[in-house]
Amino acid sequence: MKIVIASDHGGYELKQFLIETFKKEGYDFVDYGTDSEESVDYPDYAIKTCEDVAAGKFDRGILICGTGIGISIAANKVKGIRAAHCTDCFSAKMCKQHNNANVIVLGGRITGPELAAEILRTYLNEKEFLGGRHENRVNKIKAYEEKVYK
């Protein structure tokens, strides 16, 4: 699985923790930055990451800002992205099963590192999109995107 990860300054510390933790578990993330806790603008990181996920360069994306809110708003502006801001493992599982989320978003200042690792592990290990009634809903989102992003 090809995975990209990015954060702003508010998510930098958690991003570094997750990269090191998951490297030990055999995951390899491409890191799109930021590279420090110096203030940056989260839309820059969300848009670049999500454009490449939407283009198929990566299977999944991980985004982190202070709360997860701002970067998730920016991420969901990119056509083809279904970014889910998750604060618990159940949501991480459901965002893949029900929404076929291709990006997970975490809050570096609101979710502790160990819980964030469990949330991310749940998301990455969830392979199945259930389809059915859920596919109909995702297809409605895609149809709207096609209409709006001509």
Output the known binding site for D-ribulose 5-phosphate: 8-9, 66-70, 99, 109, 133, 137
- Beta-bridge partners for 30: 4
Rounded distance, CA 51 to CA 110, Å? 26
Active site amino acids: 65, 98
Give the Cα-Cα-Cα angle 131, 47, 29 (nearest 5 degrees).
75
Rounded distance, CA 95 to CA 57, Å? 21
Give the residue among 51, 59, 44 at the shortest CA–CA distance from 2. Answer: 59
